[in-house]
């Protein structure tokens, strides 16, 4: 993305757009060219479907699974820049020897949260050569982000945001991108996006929710604000939309509504890893059987080293198996007792699920038919499907929660950037 001479103002500070494309190599004094904007996007294969950066959830095993089911580009979980740069133990646990391997984990963007430009640069330099770009988290709305002063809680400090991005743009050997949330005010959101781009962000991912929209206040992402940014930013800006993806069809709807380059999914991907199979029509491709999906994930996870994969395993099991657990709470209760790293116990869960689904297909009264219910679909409980967040006892698809059979995994909330 080559932006012409332009200035952005936050407060009284003017910021000229930096045209820099060359950075000094950390290996010596040689200058290295790095791709920008549209050229970078094309070099990554012009992705349309993207796995979001999710705290403790978009780890290597999950990325590998998602790529098999239609994901074109993946982000890592959000890493804490200071810890990543100073703790070898933290770094090895979060980003192991297989992460970023070009044979099965690219294209890849590594995301960091930070509030110090030099700490961010130090951390980012440690992933050069193992990813295609580094992303700055400007969207995390959780309390831990407020306490640590990062993510969406930097939205009042545009000067700092500019310095964080611009430091990487000028000094890092690979490109920098950013993921933001919106303000209630569209014009302010547009000024914010322009500032982020002027600092040197090569991609702009826009989560169409405000910082306050989380938990039971999540609500719907506002695609119209994303479209407003798209229509008022330079035409060559690479933009990704995030929010409201439940079914494969929603990806096309989002692309049309926002006119963005690609669509990112977090929660939709976690509950149905095949949500990115946008060119498939077969029910097994769009809403895979939970026994098939959990077996595929588990076989991948067993072969990927690192604490991150082990830590995420139980949560992934709960989410993939959520509809199935409405009928088989006995298996759910067993899963809840498993401790991290007890792979034999996880294997037992997988086998029980496989046996249970096999029995389902022996019962001729069960049907694989998907019933359209307005904007939503009734999908057999033995197949992966979206999760509808419950607010005041009513799910976002208008159906009242059955308290007795509620099997949501409350042990870990999905936190997206």
Assigned token pair, 105: 């984990």
Assigned token pair, 12: 């009284």
Tell me the pairing of strands 262-265 and 371-373: unpaired
Q: Whole-angstrom Cα distance, residue 282 to residue 300?
A: 23
Q: Whole-angstrom Cα distance, residue 37 to residue 360?
A: 50
Number of residues that make up the chain: 417
Q: Whole-angstrom Cα distance, residue 383 to residue 367?
A: 11
Radius of gyration of the chain (CA): 21
Cβ-based neighbours of 40, under 8 Å, separated by 6 or more: 132, 133, 175, 202, 203, 238
**131 catalytically annotated:** no
Beta bridge partners of 177: 135
Short-list 199, 154, 157, 200, CA closest to 180: 154
Neighbours of 148 (CB within 10 A): 16
**List 74, 113, 131, 140, catalytic entry:** 140
Question: Catalytic site residues?
Answer: 140
């Amino acid at each position: 993305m080559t932006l012409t001479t332009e200035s952005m103002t936050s407060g009284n500070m003017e910021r000229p757009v930096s045209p820099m494309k060359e950075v000094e190599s950390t290996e010596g004094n040689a200058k290295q060219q790095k791709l920008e904007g549209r050229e970078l996007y094309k070099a990554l294969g012009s992705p349309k479907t993207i796995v979001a950066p999710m705290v403790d959830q978009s780890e290597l095993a999950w990325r590998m699974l998602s790529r098999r089911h239609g994901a074109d580009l993946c982000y890592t979980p959000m890493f804490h820049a200071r810890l990543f740069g100073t703790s070898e133990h933290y770094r090895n646990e979060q980003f192991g020897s297989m992460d970023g391997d070009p044979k099965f984990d690219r294209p890849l963007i590594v995301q960091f949260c930070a509030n110090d430009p030099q700490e961010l640069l130090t951390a980012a330099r440690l992933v050069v050569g193992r990813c295609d770009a580094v992303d700055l988290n400007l969207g995390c709305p959780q309390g831990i982000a407020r306490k640590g002063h990062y993510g969406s809680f930097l939205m009042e400090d545009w000067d700092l945001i500019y310095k964080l991005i611009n430091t990487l743009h000028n000094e890092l050997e690979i490109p920098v991108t950013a993921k933001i949330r919106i303000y209630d005010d569209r014009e302010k959101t547009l000024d914010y996006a322009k500032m982020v781009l002027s600092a040197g962000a090569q991609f702009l991912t826009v989560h169409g929710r405000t910082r306050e929209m989380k938990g039971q206040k999540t609500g719907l992402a506002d695609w119209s604000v994303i479209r407003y940014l798209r229509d008022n930013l330079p035409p060559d800006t690479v933009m990704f939309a995030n929010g409201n993806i439940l079914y494969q069809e929603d990806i096309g709807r989002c692309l049309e509504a926002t006119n963005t380059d690609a669509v990112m999914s977090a929660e939709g991907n976690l509950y149905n890893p095949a949500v990115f199979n946008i060119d498939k029509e077969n029910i097994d491709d769009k809403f895979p059987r939970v026994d098939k999906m959990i077996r595929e994930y588990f076989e991948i996870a067993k072969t990927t080293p690192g604490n991150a994969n082990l830590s995420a395993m139980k949560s992934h099991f709960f989410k993939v198996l959520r509809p199935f657990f409405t009928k088989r709470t006995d298996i759910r209760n067993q899963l809840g007792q498993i401790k991290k790293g007890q792979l034999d116990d996880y294997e037992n869960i997988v086998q029980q699920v496989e046996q249970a689904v096999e029995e389902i297909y022996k019962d001729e009264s069960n049907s694989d038919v998907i019933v359209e219910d307005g904007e939503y679909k009734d999908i057999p409980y033995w197949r992966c499907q979206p999760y509808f967040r419950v607010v005041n006892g009513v799910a976002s698809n208008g159906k009242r929660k059955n308290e007795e059979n509620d099997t949501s995994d409350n042990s870990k909330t999905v936190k997206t950037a």
